[in-house]
Amino acid sequence: MWIFTKQGFFSAVCARKGNGKHGQPVDPDRIMVRARVRGHLEALMKRFPDLLGESEIQEFVGTDYAFRVFVQKPTTTTSNRKLPTIRAVPVPPTNIHSTKFGRS
């Protein structure tokens, strides 16, 4: 799921077990919130310190969303209710690769 907010642009997907790297089985209890820009995750964590404050941003070099936070599913549901989505996008807009979202 793509999430566009005042804090940034995110992708929320099923997490993998363990460290979340490719090849691990799916973790049914966690969600991986990904961003192309580290500052977007930092802003989200600042916005929800009670839900995400103890999460650690992990960097996965060479991936499309290099910065990731792993959270429990109830945390994701709670923060999504508190965070109004600016725009739901079913397909990538043509300018998604702009530097504002972490690509040039």
So what's the pLDDT on residue 88? 45
So what's the pLDDT on residue 37? 95
Going from N- to C-terminal start, the domains of the chain cover 2-101
Residue 25 DSSP one-character state: P
Beta partners for residue 10, in sequence order: 3
So what's the pLDDT on residue 34? 93
So what's the pLDDT on residue 80? 54
So what's the pLDDT on residue 101? 54
Residues 66, 40 contacting (CB under 8 angstroms):
no
Looking from the CA of 89 toward its CB, the CA atoms found within 13 Å total 15
Cα angle 102, 46, 13 (rounded to 5 degrees) comes to: 55
So what's the pLDDT on residue 48? 85
pTM exceeding 0.85: no
Q: Which helix (H) or strand (E) holds 47?
A: helix 38-47
Pairing of strands 67-72, 2-4: unpaired
pLDDT along the chain (104 residues), means of 10: 86 87 87 94 90 87 92 65 49 52 54
Q: What CA–CA distance (Å, rounded) separates 49 from 83?
A: 13
So what's the pLDDT on residue 2? 84
